[in-house]
Amino acid sequence: MDLILSSLEILARWDVMIALLVGSIGGVLIGAIPGVGPAVAIAILLPATFSLDPIVGLTVLLGIYGSSMYGGSIPAILINTPGTAVNALTTYDGYPMTTRGEARRALSLAYSSSFFGGVFSVICLVLFAPVLAKIAPMFGSREIFLAALLGIILVVVAHRGQSLIAAALACFGIFLHTVGLEPVKYSKRFTFEQSWLSSGVDLIVVVLGLFAISQAIFLLQGQDEKIRMTKLRGGLFQGMRELARHPRVATASASLGVLMGMIPGVGEFTAQFLSYTYAQRTSERPDDFGKGASEGLIAAETSNNAVPAAAMVPLLALGIPGEALTAMMLSVFYVHNVVPGPQLFQNDMDFVVALYLALLILNVLVLIFLLFATNQLIKVVKIPNRFLGASILTLSFVGVYSLRNSFTDCLIAACFGIFGFVLKRLNLPAVPIVLGMVLGGIMEVKLRAGMARVKTPFDFIDRPVAMILFIMILGVLILHFRYVWQQRKLLKEAKWQAKHKSTSFAAQMSRRKDYLLMERGKRLREKRSKYAPRLTDKNSPR
């Protein structure tokens, strides 16, 4: 109880409350605009948060991170266009409800499900915080190195079908971290005698280029779309009553969101599809899914909103981000000399709980805002794409230049913006680059610190937690290679079946031709036998 009271004292400040309000409402607005998303907004706001207190800056970013999915459901339901990539599954059942004239019902159900998922995850994590505080001291340098390595492997494995390119991009991110002065002896690496490379490649510059500037270019080269909005009818308060009729789906989806959020590199998409699959398989009417099923909408929105709070666990407990958004938040910690990891749970547990309580409060603020402001909020969807692109591009370069007052950083950000645009057009992931830069730095420092007491390779994993992490790494790699081998086997079988099918088809056509010739000959013989007696009688001598 004392821990919660001390955490509330941290939040009971006017600047923190304003940050919560701005972050939560701003996140909804940003999420409701298709093509922007929380990554772009956080990348633009990141330089401005460096001058704020840690709790204030993180509260703004947490507000955008946690509330953007609320807003993303609005265009997904009304115009079949997800506001954020995470809301893609919401269109499956949300838009069919709109076509039936049930737009308000779908929005109300989406808001209620998102609220339940967010509150459920925060309550779970506040209850488990003492357990995490006891586990955190078991992590030393070697354990954190192995956890960071596991994080990179999970990120690579999560991009199924693109594992090789994801691994290459993650290695490219690790290489970018090595440019400049190394952290122990301060010797220059990969600078090629260029003075502007001595300070290295800044993470925020790369983030702004890959996410904000690339998205701005993408919006500017497209066409402005004319959007027709559906008239909303009915009340927005009926979603809670309908959600209460499906407690099993809501609880299971929220639980899957919490579990998937704690695993680095997994995130909302896996939680959504697992929840949606579970809801469909256990439903009494599985055929309704994709046609406006309320259970499908509940599963999608509950699971994705349960992830943000859970994703803070590896970030706070181990200092390991699981995705690009938490990697950006990690830079705010470092700027203010607040180092996430085991020591944070031991020494500043009230700060950790304050962050979770901030997530709880912002869910309440967002729900109240949406229930009363939806009619005005849907107008945000009509903002032209090119205007958004020009605004994002301007704000991005202002943010980059404000970091170090360097024009060189603007050029680097522009290069990464073009690179990110190419990746976007080729449908390749940019997240592994950011996580490679962040986790590569953690791995280098912890590996150097851990090798001081290591004499044999086995000494590196001679402690229980290190052994468990090592076994998990081996297990993930074995399962991934088994999956790749099975996919290649299935591909070979498909090719063989296609070839065999074509051969058998030709054989069948040949047999059919023989059969038709045989039938034709049979009919001719029957005709001959039928007319043969007449011919015999006619030509016989009298």
pLDDT, one tens digit per residue, over 329-342 is: 777 777 767 777 77
pLDDT at 89 over 50: yes
pLDDT at 169 over 80: yes
For position 541, what pLDDT does the model report? Answer: 45
| Cα angle 8, 12, 14; round to 5 | 160
Under a CB-based contact definition with an 8 Å cutoff, are residues 32 and 74 in contact?
Answer: yes
Backbone phi, psi, residue 406, to 5°? -120, 125
- SS3 of 180, please? strand
pLDDT at 54 over 60: yes
d(CA 532, CA 262): 90
The better pLDDT of the pair 69, 184 is held by 69
pLDDT, tens digit, 9 for 90 and up, residues 456-502: 777 777 788 888 888 988 988 898 888 888 888 887 777 767 765 54
Mean pLDDT of 197-206: 80
DSSP 430-469: SHHHHHHHHHHHHHHHHHHHHGGG-SSGGGGG-SHHHHHH
CA neighbours within 13 Å on the CB side: how many for 170?
Answer: 25
For position 499, what pLDDT does the model report? Answer: 65
pLDDT at 141 over 70: yes
d(CA 275, CA 294): 13
pLDDT at 9 over 50: yes
Question: Among 181, 212, 174, which Cα is nearest to 434's?
Answer: 174
Chain CA centroid to CA 208, Å? 18
Amino acid code (one letter) for 315: L
Q: What is the pTM of this model?
A: 0.72
Task: Give the DSSP letter of residue 17.
Answer: H
For position 163, what pLDDT does the model report? Answer: 82
Q: Measured between alpha carbons, how far is residue 305 from residues 79, 112, 172 in Å?
A: 21, 11, 31
pLDDT, tens digit, 9 for 90 and up, residues 365-385: 888 888 777 777 776 667 777
Question: Among 24, 444, 453, which Cα is nearest to 16's?
Answer: 24
For position 539, what pLDDT does the model report? Answer: 46
| Assigned token pair, 357 | 């309580």
Under a CB-based contact definition with an 8 Å cutoff, are residues 308 and 260 in contact?
Answer: no
Model confidence at 231, pLDDT cuts 50, 70, 90, reads low
pLDDT, tens digit, 9 for 90 and up, residues 300-310: 888 888 888 88
For position 335, what pLDDT does the model report? Answer: 72
For position 224, what pLDDT does the model report? Answer: 62
Among the ranges given (19-28, 29-38, 405-414), the one the predictor scored with the smallest mean pLDDT: 29-38
pLDDT at 416 over 80: yes
Residue 365 CB neighbours (<10 A) = 18
pLDDT at 116 over 80: yes
CA neighbours within 13 Å on the CB side: how many for 378?
Answer: 21
Among the ranges given (225-234, 239-248, 479-488), the one the predictor scored with the smallest mean pLDDT: 225-234
For position 151, what pLDDT does the model report? Answer: 78
pLDDT, averaged across the chain: 78
Model confidence at 418, pLDDT cuts 50, 70, 90, reads very high
Under a CB-based contact definition with an 8 Å cutoff, are residues 15 and 53 in contact?
Answer: yes
As to burial, measured by CB atoms within 10 angstroms (0-12 exposed, 13-18 middle, 19+ buried), residue 424 is: middle
Phi-psi region of 337 (alpha: psi -120 to 50; beta: other; left: phi over 0): left
Highest mean pLDDT among 220-224, 437-441, 494-498, 525-529: 437-441
Amino acid code (one letter) for 433: I
**Residue the block writes with tokens 């001058």:** 51
pLDDT at 264 over 50: yes
Under a CB-based contact definition with an 8 Å cutoff, are residues 38 and 324 in contact?
Answer: no
For position 538, what pLDDT does the model report? Answer: 45
Residues of the chain above pLDDT 90, percent: 1
pLDDT, tens digit, 9 for 90 and up, residues 123-134: 887 777 677 667
d(CA 164, CA 480): 12
pLDDT at 228 over 70: no
